[in-house]
């Protein structure tokens, strides 16, 4: 019997665990280690953040699902990986610390034959002084954060209803933050809710971003096929913001936040301040704080992980100028180059380089987005990792018949721009491939026939349908695996 340990139960880790159980059955053991007792459908946190959904509508308990599927669940934090075992134990193992009530602080070692690191990001609020829901800004990165944000947003709306002007600052809270799409979506939903209440004359909504041009979204921007015309995402994004009455500040690296005030540096090296009444700023992401040790107990974290804690995989990490980066640099099977029985999926894997051009101010501050790996790519990667591990276990072979390079796979993104049966809107965009391939598509970097952007009511209905469809899938109900990632 083989034992597979999955670290993390987000979109990628949970997907990997369900498929591993499906492919391996009861003959082998699948163990999930995650500090959160709930699964959350992160894309719908936006609606929680504007009071249109309750947290219970975007989350569910993991334990009943895993019990039903025969997956072992440990509500714990992984603290260290020992891929060579140690002097007393020849098997690879991971050390965990329980966080569930009644076992808090209890430590345990869990042996494994294969390991999937699907831990997702550490929300690095500390990377920007004053940032975060415990300090001066809000967040929609978790359902708890989003619920807290709604209560603060509600206070601002009440003040507006009493005739008081409010300034909303939405965007990225670190010079190298990613996840611009989530912040962009939240800004549009705030604008929609303000307008719905007839309060637009009392609102100033400002989008602040580390993007060189709007619509970069950490993908280096894109050209989209819209109504038969090829349009840069810069024009698409600026037009949407203008339609919703949202101002913008681009090429900005927020470096400090105080109560009611954000401090930022522009790419030209100048320093500025922006006052606000309500702010939601996405933090920088880092890897999970997991160490790695060899058989002798020596720290080998720098061998297994890159500096920010994300795991090295089958990518080309050779430093090279931006113009020399290739689509082929990106990983396809997400296998550790040092320990072939370890894999990383979703945000846990270290990208070989950014998709956006690296930019640096005259003061030496790097101001540009890091690559997004959330949502659809995370699910696809989680499934492919599970397929390859199951293949290796069943056949004893070491090859990988399945692959999922982000430089070959397409992705669809639906950005909510207002909620309602007849008045809701969403911007729907597909890109193919996710990572631009200028060798294959020299004109636009992507297949322009498959890279499309539209906005309208149909997109809203599609996003709402996806909310229920993907929660159904994540609960592993009948026919779950027929629903695509």
Q: What is the pLDDT of residue 204?
A: 98
pLDDT category at 413 given cuts 50, 70, 90 is confident
* Cβ atoms of residues 201 and 195 within 8 Å: no
- The mean pLDDT of 254-281, rounded to a whole number, is 98
- The candidate with the shortest Cα–Cα distance to 359, out of 216, 204, 199, is 216
**CA atoms within a 13 Å half-sphere pointing along the CA-CB vector of 37:** 8
Nearest to 21 by CA among 119, 116, 121: 116
Domain assignments of the chain as residue spans, ordered by start: 3-123+286-395
262 forms bridges with which residues in the sheet?
Answer: 257, 274
Instruction: For the chain, give the mean pLDDT.
Output: 95
What is the spatial distance between Cα 391 and Cα 387, in angstroms, rounded to a whole number?
Answer: 6
Using 50, 70 and 90 to split pLDDT, how confident is the model at 401?
very high
Q: Are 53 and 420 in contact (CB under 8 A)?
A: no
- Is the CB of residue 114 less than 8 Å from the CB of residue 5? yes
pLDDT-derived band at 388 (thresholds 50, 70, 90) equals very high
SS3 211: coil
How much is the pLDDT for 166? 98
Residue 295 dihedral angles phi and psi, to the nearest 5°: -60, -35
Question: Which tokens sit at 367?
Answer: 């101001």
**Minimum mean pLDDT range among 268-282, 432-446, 451-465:** 451-465
DSSP alpha helix (H) spans, 85-178: 143-161
CB atoms within 10 A of CB 68: 11
Residue that has been written with the tokens 């975007």 in this structure? 58
Rounded to two decimals, the pTM is: 0.96
Return the pLDDT at 228.
78
> What is the C-alpha to C-alpha distance for residues 262 and 279, in angstroms, rounded to an integer?
9
Cα–Cα distance, 104 to 44 (Å, whole number) = 30
Half-sphere exposure of 42 (CA within 13 A, CB side): 21
Q: Are 123 and 11 in contact (CB under 8 A)?
A: no
**pLDDT of 227 strictly over 80:** no
pLDDT at 425 over 90: no
Task: Indicate the SS3 state at residue 426.
Answer: strand
Residue 26 per-residue DSSP state: G
Which residue bears the tokens 């090279």? 320
Residues 403-431 have a mean pLDDT of: 87
Given a cut of 90, whether residue 224 has pLDDT beyond it is: no
Residues 116, 345 contacting (CB under 8 angstroms): yes
What is the average per-residue pLDDT within 192-213?
Answer: 97
% the chain with pLDDT above 70: 100
pLDDT of residue 376: 86
What CATH architecture applies to the domain 3-123+286-395? Answer: 3-Layer(bba) Sandwich (3.50)
d(CA 473, CA 485): 9
Which residue from 9, 472, 5, 453 is spatially nearest to 231, judged by alpha carbons? 453
166-180, 221-235, 280-294: range with lowest mean pLDDT: 221-235
pLDDT at 238 over 80: yes
- C-beta of residue 175 within 8 angstroms of C-beta of residue 209: no
At 117-147, the pLDDT tens digits run: 999 999 999 999 999 999 999 999 999 999 9
In the chain, the largest separation of any two C-alpha atoms, in whole Å, equals 70
Say which DSSP state 357 is in: P
Q: What is the pLDDT of residue 226?
A: 77
Span 297-337, pLDDT tens digits:
999 999 999 999 999 999 999 999 999 999 999 999 999 99
Burial bucket for residue 366 (CB in 10 Å: 0-12, 13-18, 19+):
middle
Contact by Cβ (8 Å): 210, 252: yes
Q: Which residues are bridge partners to 166 per DSSP? A: 203
Q: Is the dihedral of CA 429, 430, 432, 434 positive or negative?
A: positive
Q: Which helix or strand (DSSP H or E) is residue 238 part of?
A: helix 233-243
Mean pLDDT of 43-50: 96
Quick check: helix, strand or coil at residue 195?
helix
pLDDT at position 411, please? 87
Specify the pLDDT at position 387: 98
Strands (E), 373-425: 411-416
- Residue 398's pLDDT is 96
pLDDT (mean) for 41-46: 95
Residues contacting 203, CB < 8 A, separation 6+: 160, 165, 166, 167, 168, 191, 194, 245
């Amino acid at each position: 019997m083989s034992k597979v340990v999955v670290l993390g139960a987000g979109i990628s880790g949970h997907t990997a665990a369900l498929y591993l159980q499906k492919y391996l059955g009861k003959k082998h053991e699948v163990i999930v280690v995650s500090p959160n007792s709930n699964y959350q459908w992160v894309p719908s946190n936006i609606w929680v953040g504007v009071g249109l959904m309750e947290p219970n509508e975007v989350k569910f308990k993991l334990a009943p699902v895993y019990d039903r599927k025969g997956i072992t669940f440990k509500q714990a934090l992984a603290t260290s990986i020992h891929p060579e075992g140690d002097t007393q134990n020849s098997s690879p193992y991971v050390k965990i610390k329980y966080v569930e009530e009644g076992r808090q602080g209890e430590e345990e070692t869990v042996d494994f034959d294969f390991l999937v690191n699907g831990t997702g990001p550490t929300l690095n609020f500390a990377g920007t002084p004053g940032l975060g829901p415990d300090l001066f800004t809000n967040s929609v990165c978790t359902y708890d954060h989003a619920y807290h944000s709604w209560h603060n947003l509600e206070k601002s709306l009440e003040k507006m209803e009493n005739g008081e002007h409010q300034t909303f600052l939405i965007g990225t809270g670190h010079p190298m933050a990613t996840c611009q799409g989530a912040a962009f979506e939240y800004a549009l939903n705030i604008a929609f809710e303000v307008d719905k209440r007839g309060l637009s004359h009392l609102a100033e909504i400002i989008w602040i971003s580390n993007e060189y041009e709007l619509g970069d979204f950490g993908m280096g921007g894109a050209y989209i096929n819209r109504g038969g015309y090829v349009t840069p995402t810069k024009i698409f994004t600026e037009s949407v913001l203008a339609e919703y009455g949202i101002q913008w500040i681009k090429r900005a690296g927020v470096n400090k936040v105080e109560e009611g005030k954000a401090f930022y540096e522009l790419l030209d090296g100048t320093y500025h301040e922006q006052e606000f009444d309500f702010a939601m700023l996405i933090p920088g992401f880092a890897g999970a704080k997991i160490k790695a040790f060899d058989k002798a107990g020596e720290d080998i974290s720098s061998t297994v992980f890159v500096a920010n804690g994300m795991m090295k995989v089958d990518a080309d990490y050779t430093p090279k100028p931006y113009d020399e980066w290739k689509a082929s640099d990106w990983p396809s099977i997400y296998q550790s180059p040092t320990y072939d029985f370890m894999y990383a999926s979703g945000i846990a894997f270290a990208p070989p380089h950014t998709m956006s051009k690296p930019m640096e101010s005259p003061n030496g501050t790097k101001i540009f987005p890091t690559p997004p790996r959330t949502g659809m790519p995370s699910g696809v990667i989680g499934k492919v990792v599970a397929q390859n591990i199951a293949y290796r276990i069943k056949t004893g072979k070491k090859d990988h018949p399945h692959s999922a390079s982000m430089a070959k796979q397409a992705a669809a993104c639906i950005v909510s721009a207002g909620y309602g049966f007849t008045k809701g809107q969403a911007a729907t965009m597909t890109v193919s491939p996710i990572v631009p391939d200028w060798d294959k598509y020299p004109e636009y970097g992507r297949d322009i026939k498959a890279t499309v952007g539209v906005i309208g009511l149909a997109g809203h209905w599609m996003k709402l349908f996806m909310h229920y469809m993907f929660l159904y899938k994540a609960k592993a109900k009948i026919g779950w695996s027929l629903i695509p990632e």
